[in-house]
Structure 1
Amino acid sequence: MRLLACLSWLLTHRILMNKGFILRRKGLSTDTIASLVIGLTATAWTSSVLVHLYNTETRWEPSQQQSWEQGTVLRTLAGLADAPLLTQNLFGFWLVSWPDGIRAERNRNDGYKPYLWSLAGLRGPFDWASGIHSGFYRALVVVIAVSVSVPAIAAVLVGNPLTGILNLAGLVLFLVNGVGNNPYVRASHRYASDRLRIALPTSHHEGTTYILPSRGTGIDAVWTPKIQNEHLEADQEMMTLFAKMRSGRCSVGEPLEHLRKCLALYHPRALLSTSEVQLLASWIYAEKAPGDPSLRTIHCDRAPGVHLVGRDLMFALCHAEYIVFMEQGRLPAVTRDKLGTLRLLSRSGAGVNSETDTHTIGFRPGMAGYKEAVQHIYAIFDMAVEDHAMQFSSTPPPPYSYALHSSPSTIEEYVSQLWDVSTQNSESTFSALYFFTTVWFMELGNLNGFHIFPLRCKTRDGDLVSQQIAWRQAWYSGCIAQLVAVSPMLFGLFVVGFVN
């Protein structure tokens, strides 16, 4: 059974590295399945050891000078050193925290906080201990330390020092986190329709991720560790773009070029059915037809004094529109006819032909175009337009605009000219807004209600997906530490296979 369990762990590892993870809010995510595979195989392994101990009267032949070692309790404890007690106990604590995470996820909008874990103190994707409550972590450490060390010491006392020492070595590796960082941050990450995560550009090791609306819930923001694979597009394209803009080396055509690459790389991550694509389309086109009323609800907090026209929210909307545009073949004809309302089809080779010209929202000159685009943003969320999203009288223009290559005399002139440049170098309403808000932040900062980060997490506890991501390091460390204890068996099998 030990061999089968170890092989299943190694096979699970290879599958995760090759096929990656599918993150979802409902049902079994890849993280949950992997945890169950490891835990259930560890349970089967432990059960086989217990059955063997029950059916065996004695396993060792102690010397006469050590007659006290012949006690049943000591022999049983020593026999337990052959069981994967480290991963077994880790599985038990995970089973306790998993329902707590499910309850927190289902009631998060009602202010429910998990009892056993919180990512508020999380320090990156590898420091899993900082993502669970201190009392829960201390209990986990004590139980694992006692359950592993006592059988290991008993094994040494009854004359099986190799097993005992290797178990203690594995325990030390786990407790001091000496295994190393798990490689799953580099594995592919894809998203089910109820967990369309938009990784926002950041240089930190943890931060906010936006989640696009799905059936039964509106747009959301969650606190999560930064996963290298999730942030490939944002780091390679958008962070590079920001660096160029700060140094003044960015041409007006580069934002769209970087954004296009980012969206194209993201599209394969989204795993949506036809009905889910249509639901996302009804959201971005602000359709008034009867449907899911929660779709237009903002389920996270808003930054105080900030309107909705913010860079990162426009970044998320660009992703949503791109998914709908690329999946247009699955849209009904009435929805497909609306593609041109948010995307300038004359600049897209993948656009559908239409006998009638469709006006693209926001693609009017000057302030009129900007206001039209802003009105659509608020229509998406079924909200009245806020005054400070339209009025700029309290903000002076920048002394010099690198985007315009001029010094506008008034803020109205600056907004009007910047919007014209934005539409001239964009292919959709949302990409124009993204261009506009990015340049605004670079040249003016977070002023006049503009903020790059308009939607905020309600708490930094994270969600169920983020919690499972944090647990990956615990599982990785536990399995490696457990394999250390059975390394003689694995080495023996290797030698036998090599000789034969």
Structure 2
Amino acid sequence: MADEPFASVIVTWRFLACTAWLLQHRMLVNRGFVLRRRGLSTDTLAVLIVGVTATMWSASVLFAVHKQSTNSGHISMANSIALAVEAPIIVQIAFIVWLCKWTVAKLDERHDRTPHLWRSIQVRGPFDWETGLGPRLYAGLCVSLCLAVGISSASAFAAGFNTISPVLSLAGLVVFLYGGAPKHPYGDASHAYSDDTLRISLPTTHHEGTVYVLPSSSRGFDAAWSPKIAEEHKDADAEMMVLFDHMRAGRWLVSEPLQRLRTTMARFRGRVFLSKGQAQLLAAWIHADNLPDRPRRSLLLCARAPGTHLVGRDLMYALCHAEYLVFMSQRALEKDMKEKMGRLRLLARSGAGSSQLDAPPVQTIGFRPGLEGYREAVSHIYSIFDLPADQEALEFHVQPPSFSVALSSSPSSIDEYVSELWDLSTANSESTFSALYFFTTVWFMEMGNVNGFNIFPLRCQDTHGDVASQQMMWRQFWYSACVAQLISCVPILFGAFSFGLFP
């Protein structure tokens, strides 16, 4: 062991690092995460805090070795290696691996390339960090850890140092490599979004899925692969999935889609940190205004499902959220944009109508009877993305359902069915997009994915995910590394872990 004065330096930094990790863990559980593409997200800050404190702890060990060598005039290589058992080897090597990956990912993103902070293909959920690293990197990590921990522990035994540290270091290594650490609890922590990472979590029953990302100043509309984080998806699961179950069972009310949609949108608004500039940008985007940055905003960065048009349930779900953010950010909008709000929202149904009797009336897009209203709304969807409208989205060449539960009738033709369904949609909606959401949801339940309709029209280009999704996948890796390091350096924590009391 190092001389007493230098040992106290190691103990001090060990205490500070472990305290910082435990406090940060509690703060993440209580305060949650803010996801962002530019700048430092909560995930990045958390890793940097762990990595920097681990590096300072390691530096204190090197300092002790250097001072002991200086004072005694000589210290053998074996003893120097033996002292390394006091360093946070597991977390230190993990931090080096992450830092290299993170730096490359940031460079890729700066040059508009897909970041590869994490290997998402074939990942079996948000806790599967071994697969996410990829076979080569995982093998290299295992070899590095086994050599570093094994050699330092063996040297400590041979040098006759305190045997507790090497034994606990080996125990921590086993816990880390063989999945002995529990699953992290961060999936239940709150998740908020900065205005460059406005993620719309789509309803899904799978352990992974797609999130739609609304446009920002530097990117267009995108679809990204993401692990299913319980807290992110709880609103969609609790409201929209229940709605779908009710509709399949034929026991839903026409007022239910809007009620549940309102609930999910209101909760989504509580997650968002929206700047004035982003509110103005979203407003210009959904109104299809021709501004200088329109080409970038209207760009679709994701893929379209083959044989489909854009009028799909999940895309309408995302547009509803975008319009709701704009509606709730009226004070941040410029005057000319405020005056356009009635184009997409029936303000009289939103408690936001003008009290001035002489105010000029604004015709809400799509709120015309029958096919005329439907086609007007669909044409606006395509104008948002600066694309020509697909004829399949405007014309119908299929047979109507034999009986429509929504209409409580048997339509004689497809045009009659569409016309009456659109009238029902506008009668039970407050905006153009919520009417389209009502329409596409009922269409899927009663007609299915026919005539170019698809509930999921926009798909990810790949399953690598964006930076936010990839950072989420590192959480179990870091949680396991910190747990393994804590139990390897503090005997009482190892005992608590062994009896299932920690963490």
Q: TM-score range by the shorter chain?
A: over 0.9
Over the aligned positions, Cα root-mean-square deviation in angstroms equals 2.0
- Which residue in the other structure is 2:262 paired with? 260
- Alignment partner of 1:127 is 2:128: yes
| Superposition pairs of residues 33-52 of structure 1, within 5 angstroms | 33-52=45-64
Higher deviation after alignment, 153-162 or 398-407? 153-162
- Which residue in the other structure is 1:297 paired with? 299
- Alignment partner of 1:87 is 2:91: yes
Asked if structure 1 preserves the Cα contact closer than 8 Å seen for 2:35 and 2:468, the reply is yes
Report the CA distance shift for 1:409/1:491 in structure 2 as closer, same or farther (over 3 A): closer
Asked if structure 2 preserves the Cα contact closer than 8 Å seen for 1:200 and 1:312, the reply is yes
| Superposition pairs of residues 371-390 of structure 1, within 5 angstroms | 371-390=375-394
- Which residue in the other structure is 1:2 paired with? 14
**SS at the partner of 1:56?**
helix
Among 320, 339, 342, the residue aligned to 2:341? 339
How far off its partner does 1:114 sit?
5.0
Cα distance in 2 for partners of 1:165, 1:351 equals: 71
**SS at the partner of 2:368?**
coil
| Superposition pairs of residues 59-138 of structure 1, within 5 angstroms | 72-108=76-112, 112=113, 117-138=118-139
Aligned length: 479
Asked if structure 1 preserves the Cα contact closer than 8 Å seen for 2:114 and 2:466, the reply is no
Asked if structure 2 preserves the Cα contact closer than 8 Å seen for 1:425 and 1:432, the reply is yes
Cα distance in 1 for partners of 2:49, 2:28 equals: 12
Cα distance in 2 for partners of 1:212, 1:352 equals: 29
- Which residue in the other structure is 2:68 paired with? 56
Asked if structure 2 preserves the Cα contact closer than 8 Å seen for 1:131 and 1:467, the reply is no
- Alignment partner of 1:141 is 2:145: no
- Which residue in the other structure is 2:416 paired with? 413
Asked if structure 2 preserves the Cα contact closer than 8 Å seen for 1:309 and 1:374, the reply is yes
Cα distance in 1 for partners of 2:340, 2:104 equals: 43
Cα distance in 1 for partners of 2:107, 2:137 equals: 17
**SS at the partner of 2:230?**
coil
Cα distance in 1 for partners of 2:161, 2:254 equals: 75
Cα distance in 1 for partners of 2:468, 2:200 equals: 14
**SS at the partner of 1:194?**
coil
- Which residue in the other structure is 1:63 paired with? none
| Superposition pairs of residues 419-498 of structure 1, within 5 angstroms | 419-488=422-491
Higher deviation after alignment, 356-365 or 212-221? 356-365
- Which residue in the other structure is 1:199 paired with? 201
**SS at the partner of 1:462?**
coil
- Which residue in the other structure is 2:9 paired with? none
- Which residue in the other structure is 2:4 paired with? none
| Superposition pairs of residues 27-38 of structure 1, within 5 angstroms | 27-38=39-50
* TM-score, L = length of structure 2: 0.92
Asked if structure 1 preserves the Cα contact closer than 8 Å seen for 2:117 and 2:467, the reply is no
| Superposition pairs of residues 350-365 of structure 1, within 5 angstroms | 350-353=352-355, 355-365=359-369
Cα distance in 2 for partners of 1:456, 1:77 equals: 52
Cα distance in 2 for partners of 1:106, 1:415 equals: 46
Letter aligned with residue 8 of structure 1: A
Cα distance in 2 for partners of 1:154, 1:100 equals: 35
Letter aligned with residue 146 of structure 1: L
- Alignment partner of 1:11 is 2:28: no
Letter aligned with residue 473 of structure 1: Q
**SS at the partner of 1:231?**
helix
Report the CA distance shift for 1:190/1:212 in structure 2 as closer, same or farther (over 3 A): same
How far off its partner does 1:89 sit?
0.1
**SS at the partner of 2:29?**
helix
Cα distance in 1 for partners of 2:115, 2:288 equals: 34
Cα distance in 1 for partners of 2:53, 2:128 equals: 25
Letter aligned with residue 55 of structure 1: K
Structure 1 unmatched ranges of 5 or more: 60-69, 493-500
How far off its partner does 1:57 sit?
4.8
Among 280, 283, 286, the residue aligned to 1:281? 283
- Which residue in the other structure is 1:62 paired with? none
Letter aligned with residue 133 of structure 1: G
Deviations 1:166-185 (A, max 9, x none): 11111111101211111111
Cα distance in 2 for partners of 1:38, 1:172 equals: 21
Asked if structure 1 preserves the Cα contact closer than 8 Å seen for 2:30 and 2:189, the reply is yes
Structure 2 unmatched ranges of 5 or more: 1-12, 496-503
Letter aligned with residue 121 of structure 1: Q
Cα distance in 1 for partners of 2:45, 2:303 equals: 32
Cα distance in 2 for partners of 1:116, 1:434 equals: 35
* TM-score, L = length of structure 1: 0.92
Letter aligned with residue 26 of structure 1: R
Asked if structure 1 preserves the Cα contact closer than 8 Å seen for 2:286 and 2:323, the reply is yes
- Alignment partner of 1:21 is 2:28: no
**SS at the partner of 1:297?**
coil
